[in-house]
């Protein structure tokens, strides 16, 4: 596995995709857009936002929650029903403020405000980017390749400003729509207002063209006054995000903070603080620092307190797998999958632990879990398909190895290899079988073998 360039060496990377753009001569290289994926974080945020999505007539499960590793306060939408949230936003907002921001972004989605120019991202391409991160944020520190990050070489200016630049009229429309959704959900709109006030107070250049939030969300005094008036007219200003969801949001904030700054997390979540949030933060901070012996007792204590919490079991599985104890990691992963069967990143981690034992007897269970995960966004993960190829190799099935390798190459953007493996799969697999048909699809989508040449 290759190490990511901008993260410390203990971080295991699921896959790297270098996206080539035609850049004018002399242009400066754009900063990386790093996408993170965490089953618990995405589940928690989706549950918090579910009333908003329902009010907007949007299927909550159809909305992709995408985490961007960026310390700035920002959120944006792109490629359909995809809401991108910066880690800086998650760490600097309370639950009610975040729901207000999501309500606003939902207003953009429902209002059809996405602008596509000649160079705008295609939905399928964006989906492939989203699908690449397949694991937990804490798993990044686990050297668990089934839990990782997609480091995408995609300029933030392109990803946000050129594609999602909204007009003031659209911003006001999204505000009004978002506030109406919150009203229908019986939630207070104060969160959105306090977030805007926070931005205005902390970033005096929000109206400057160089301010990232201003470029994607033009802000004016009139807009803030309009939001304030709507809040004053609301009947539900006492309605807040449920306490249980606020607790879970605090937990994912602790996890995220520990991933980004483990030493700082140990200072923030001190040993004398016995709350679940603090212990969770400390466990992930130790995990991130590679101090598994300190992290495991905390994980066991959390499991004892909440035995039905899938993500506590997942954390223990990650810890054990990092420590080279793949056999022991299988049990916690299996328990996590039984408690959260829709958390497909955990299924990938379970498959990884099974295959790390290099025992052909474990291949069937690994394949079963990978096949379930492949039907979701995780199906765009090159690492998932690398594991699939490994599992089929254990079962001595060269046709399916070739097919899985074609999927891996396709996810990586390696066109020549994708074509070569797809052609090999077509020769080895029975005509009309699912793998044979998908190999044909890959070959037709990638195009002729010369398509990979520059």
Phi-psi region of 68 (alpha: psi -120 to 50; beta: other; left: phi over 0): beta
The reported pLDDT for the residue numbered 330 is 98
Residue-wise DSSP of 120-151: PPPHHHHHHHHHH--S-TGGGGGT-TTS-EEE
Beta strands in 62-143 (DSSP E): 64-68, 75-78, 82-86
Question: Exposed e or buried b for every residue in 389-419, given b needs 16+ CB within 10 A?
Answer: bbbbbbeebebbbbbbbbbbbbbbbbbebbb
Dump pLDDT digits (tens) for 143-160.
443 333 333 334 444 444
Locate tokens 């760490």: which residue? 91
225: number of Cβ within 10 Å: 10
Write out the H or E segment, with its range, that includes residue 338.
Answer: helix 326-339
Encode pLDDT of 81-98 as tens digits: 889 899 999 999 999 999
437 contacts: CB under 8 Å, gap ≥ 6 = none
Per residue in 329-387, pLDDT (tens digit) is: 999 999 999 999 999 999 999 999 999 999 999 999 999 999 999 988 666 788 999 99
- Over range 64-92, report the average pLDDT: 88
Q: What is the pLDDT of residues 275-285, one digit of tens each?
A: 999 999 999 99
pLDDT at 72: 87
Q: List residues bridging with 16 in a β-sheet.
A: 151
The closest alpha carbon to 252, from 10, 46, 23, belongs to: 46
DSSP string, 182-209: HHHTT--SHHHHHHHHHHHHH-TTTTST
Angle ∠(77,46,56) on CA atoms, nearest 5 = 65
**How much is the average pLDDT of 195-211?**
61
* Lateral strand order in the sheet of 33-36: 15-17, 149-152, 33-36, 64-68, 82-86, 75-78
Residue 10: both structure tokens together: 């203990």
Residue 83 β-bridge partners:
65, 77
Q: What is the pLDDT of residue 138?
A: 34
In total, the chain counts a number of residues equal to: 454
Contact 88, 94 (CB under 8 A): no
Closest listed residue to residue 413, CA positions, set 363, 452, 356: 452
Distance of CA 21 to the CA centre of its chain: 23
| Whole-number pLDDT of residue 182 | 93
pTM (whole model) above 0.85? no
| pLDDT per residue as tens digits for the range 56-65 | 999 998 888 8
Query: Using 50, 70 and 90 to split pLDDT, how confident is the model at 36?
Result: confident
Given the structure tokens 């790093």, which residue do they identify?
34
Cα–Cα distance list, 158 to 17, 128, 153 (Å): 16, 17, 11
C-alpha span between 286 and 288 (Å, rounded): 5
353 vs 435: CA distance, rounded Å: 25
Cα–Cα distance for residue pair 67/44, rounded to 1 Å? 13
Higher pLDDT among residues 76 and 15, named by residue? 76
For 401-409, the CB contacts below 8 A with 24+ separation are 402/428, 402/429, 402/439, 403/429, 403/435, 403/436, 403/438, 403/439, 406/439, 406/442, 407/438, 407/442, 408/382, 409/382
CA proximity to 347, closest of 309, 305, 375: 375
- Residue identified by tokens 């295609």 is 122
DSSP character string of 144-182: -TTS-EEEE---HIIIIIITS---HHHHHHHHHHHHHHH
Measure CA 62 to chain center: 14
Q: Does 286 have pLDDT greater than 60?
A: yes
């Amino acid at each position: 596995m290759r190490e990511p360039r901008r993260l410390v060496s203990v971080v295991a990377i699921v896959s790297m995709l270098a996206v080539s753009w035609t850049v004018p001569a002399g242009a400066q290289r754009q900063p990386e857009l790093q996408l993170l994926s965490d089953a618990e974080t995405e589940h928690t945020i989706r549950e918090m936002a579910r009333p908003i999505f329902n009010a907007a007539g949007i299927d909550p499960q159809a909305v992709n929650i995408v985490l961007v590793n960026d310390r700035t306060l920002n959120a944006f939408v792109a490629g359909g029903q995809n809401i991108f949230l910066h880690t800086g936003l998650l760490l600097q907002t309370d639950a009610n403020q975040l729901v207000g921001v999501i309500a606003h972004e939902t207003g953009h989605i429902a209002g059809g405000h996405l602008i596509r120019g000649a160079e705008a991202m295609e939905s399928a391409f964006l989906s492939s980017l989203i699908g690449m991160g397949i694991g937990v944020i804490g798993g990044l520190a686990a050297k668990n390749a089934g839990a990782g990050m997609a480091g995408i070489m995609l300029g933030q200016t392109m990803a946000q400003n050129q594609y999602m630049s909204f007009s003031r009229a659209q911003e006001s429309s999204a505000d009004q729509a978002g506030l109406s959704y919150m009203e229908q959900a019986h939630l207070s709109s104060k969160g959105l207002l306090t977030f805007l006030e926070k931005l205005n107070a902390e970033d005096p250049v929000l109206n400057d063209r160089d301010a990232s939030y201003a470029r994607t969300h033009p802000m004016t005094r009139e807009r803030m006054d309009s939001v304030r008036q709507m809040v004053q007219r609301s009947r539900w200003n006492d309605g807040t995000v449920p306490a249980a969801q606020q607790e879970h949001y605090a937990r994912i904030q602790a996890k995220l903070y520990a991933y980004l700054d483990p030493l700082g997390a140990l200072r923030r979540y001190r040993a004398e603080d016995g709350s679940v949030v603090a212990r969770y933060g400390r466990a992930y901070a130790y995990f991130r620092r590679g101090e598994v012996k300190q992290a495991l007792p905390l994980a066991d204590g959390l499991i004892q307190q909440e035995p039905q919490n899938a993500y506590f079991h997942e954390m223990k599985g990650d810890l054990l797998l990092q420590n080279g104890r793949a056999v022991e990691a299988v049990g916690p992963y299996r328990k996590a999958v039984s408690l959260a069967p829709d958390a497909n990143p955990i299924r990938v981690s379970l498959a990884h632990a099974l295959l790390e034992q290099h025992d052909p007897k474990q291949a069937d269970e690994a394949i079963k879990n990978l096949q379930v995960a492949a039907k979701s966004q995780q199906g765009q993960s090159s690492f998932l398909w690398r594991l699939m190829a490994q599992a089929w190799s254990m079962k001595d099935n060269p046709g399916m190895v070739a097919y899985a390798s074609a999927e891996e190459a396709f996810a990586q953007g390696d066109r020549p290899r994708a074509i070569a493996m797809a052609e090999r799969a077509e020769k080895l697999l029975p005509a009309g079988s699912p793998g044979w048909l998908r190999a044909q699809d890959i070959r037709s989508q990638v195009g002729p073998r010369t398509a990979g040449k520059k």
